[in-house]
Amino acid sequence: MKLLTLNFLTCAIKTCKTSPASFPLHPRDAELEIIESEINLPFLRNILPRLMWEEIRVIASELGLPSLPTTPPTREDLVEGASQAQATEQAEGEAVAEVEEVPSQTAKDLHRILLETGIKEGKLVCGNCAHEYKVMEGVANFLLPGHLV
């Protein structure tokens, strides 16, 4: 399961939803896998406002991934030489936008973390109730035993 998915998941136990500690779920004993995919720069740029950056940083650090910057990247950070291109545009008054944009290292790193890195096996733990959800063959199981429903 992709790490970006964790941006939209919480503990399945009803009473946990109101507690801020139920998000994000914390990976534990995780075996990671990398499934490469084509980078989609417009998507990455647009998704930035939806990312719960602090929580993604926490997840990345818990998984032992290279640490993410404290502040989220800006749209400009994702394009190689974006500031330069803007300057050219101003100087010549021509549309430089038609030139194909090259993803920056920041964009590649973000793509790798959010969409290419997945939890193959392991657990996701609620920070509020400590319930553990198993991940098996890349599928997280949020079904609760009868007494917790």
Partner 1 sequence: MSSISYWIVSTAHFRILCWLRHSNMLPTPSTSHVCFDRVYEPAEDSFLLLDTLSSASESGFLKDRFNAESGAPPLVLEVGVGSGVVLAFTAANAKSIFGRQDVLTLGTDINSFACKAASQTVRTALNDNVNPASTFLDVVNGDLASSIRPHSIDVFIFNPPYVPAELPNFTHHDRYSVLPPGKDATSFEQDSYLLELSYAGGEDGMVVTNRMLNQIPELLDVGRGVAYVLLCAQNKPELVKEQIREWGVGWEAETVGSSGKQAGWEKLQIVRIWRNLK
Binding site for partner 1 (CB under 8 A): 1-2, 4-5, 7-12, 14, 17, 23, 38, 40, 42-43, 46-50, 115, 133, 137-144, 146, 149
Cβ-proximal residues to 39 (8 Å cutoff; 6+ apart), any chain: 103, 107, 108, 111
To the nearest whole angstrom, how small is the minimum distance from the Cβ of residue 141 to partner 1? Answer: 5
The least CB distance from residue 56 to partner 1, in Å, is 13
- The residue among 81 and 138 lying less far from partner 1, judged by its C-beta, is 138
Q: Which residue in 100, 51, 53 sits closest to 80, CA to CA?
A: 100
Compare residues 99 and 139 and give the one whose CB is closer to partner 1.
Answer: 139
- Which value, to the nearest 10 degrees, does the dihedral of the CA atoms of residues 100, 72, 87, 90 take? 90
- We find the least distance from the C-beta atom of residue 38 to partner 1, in angstroms, to be 8
Which of 34/139 has CB closer to partner 1? 139
Please, which residue, 87 or 99, has the CB nearer to partner 1?
Answer: 99
- Which pair of tokens denotes residue 93? 């008054």
Q: Tell me the longest C-alpha to C-alpha distance in the chain.
A: 69
The minimum distance between CB 132 and partner 1, in angstroms, equals: 13
Return d(Cα 30, Cα 103) in angstroms, integer.
Answer: 29
By C-alpha distance, which of 102, 100, 131, 121 is closest to 39? 102
